[in-house]
Each structure stands twice: as C-alpha cells, then as structure tokens.
C-alpha cells in the first residue's frame, strides 16, 4: 500500500508524518500524535465524537483520510484552551455540568466552537441544528444547549 509524507498544522504546531493511504485523520491524531480528545464512537459519520476543525470547518475525522488533511490546519479539543485559560464554552460546560461520561464532550465542544465562530448570537433552534451531528448517549442535551447559550452571551 502506498504511503504519503504529509505535513499539517495541529493546534498551531507543524506536524510531519508518513501515513498509509488507508489511515484516517482520527487515527493519525489519536495514535500518532497522542491527541486522544477526539473519540472513535461509530467510525461512520453518525455520532460526531470524532469532530475536529479542518481549515475552519468542523469535519468527522473518522471519514477524512490523513493524506487528505495534508497541508491543512486542524484544531482538536486539546487546542481550545490556552495559557490564559479554558475556552468560554469549556467554562460554561463546567458551570452547568454539561458533561456526564464525557465521551461526546470533545466533539460537542468542537462543533459548538466552530458554530459560535460563524454564528455569534444564535437562537436555541440554531444551536440544536448545529449540534445535530453530535450524539450524547448520556442524553444530557439540555445542559449542552445551555452551555452554548452561556458561552454565546460571553460566559
């Protein structure tokens, strides 16, 4: 099987890797780069646990080849916080206990971050629509939506 030398920016850091054709971005992030925030829930585009931002847009990293991400800029949940603290979304999640087992949380945070960046003052329906692709098996949707509302208002 062919391998490919790729380079991409992950959470602001330039990474280089040699990847087989059939490796998905999720595997590259988790198993090569040690970024285990994004989760493998279904490997089929359904649950959103693997959501990362690629060139500004959220994608299901289980359905993107690592080689397709060559040259791109990736943000994972590990990249949301900085020296100066957590992302307002993360603060809001903690405030309202928007996370239970936590499996869906990294994907939810990433989807919500990308959403707030394109829709700073959303309605509740818009929030729900934007998070349609993020399933929470603990079904804590009310508090997830609540935390997005709080973050949108500026925490």
- Contact positions vs ligand FES (CB under 6 A): 40-43, 45-50, 60, 62, 99-105, 136-138, 140
Q: In what order do the strands lie in the sheet with 57-60?
A: 13-20, 3-10, 73-75, 51-54, 57-60
Q: What is the residue whose two structure tokens read 């999720």?
A: 26
**Least Å distance between CB 25 and ligand FES?**
10
CA 113/CA 37 separation, integer angstroms: 15
**Least Å distance between CB 46 and ligand FAD?**
4
Q: Is 46 in the site for ligand FAD (CB under 6 A)?
A: yes
Q: Under rule CB under 8 A, how many of the chain's residues touch another protein?
A: 33
For the chain, report the end-to-end CA distance as a whole number of angstroms.
49
Radius of gyration of the chain (CA): 15
Q: Is 4 in the site for another protein (CB under 8 A)?
A: yes
Q: From the list ligand FAD, ligand FES, another protein, none, pick the one residue 41 interacts with, judged by a Cβ distance below 5 to 8 Å according to partner type.
A: ligand FES
């Amino acid at each position: 099987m062919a391998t490919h030398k790729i380079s991409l920016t992950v959470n602001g850091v330039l990474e280089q890797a040699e990847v087989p054709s059939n490796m998905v971005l999720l595997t590259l992030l988790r198993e090569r780069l040690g970024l285990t925030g994004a989760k493998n829930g279904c490997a089929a585009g359904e649950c959103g646990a693997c959501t990362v931002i690629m060139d500004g847009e959220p994608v299901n990293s289980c359905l993107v080849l690592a080689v397709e991400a060559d040259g791109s800029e990736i943000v994972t949940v590990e990249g949301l916080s900085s020296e100066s603290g957590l992302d307002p979304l993360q603060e809001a999640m903690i405030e309202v206990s928007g996370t239970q087992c936590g499996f869906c949380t990294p994907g939810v945070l990433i989807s919500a971050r990308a959403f707030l960046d394109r829709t700073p003052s959303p309605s509740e329906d818009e929030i729900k629509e934007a998070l349609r692709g993020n399933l929470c098996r603990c079904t804590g949707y009310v508090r997830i939506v609540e935390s997005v509302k709080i973050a949108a208002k500026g925490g």
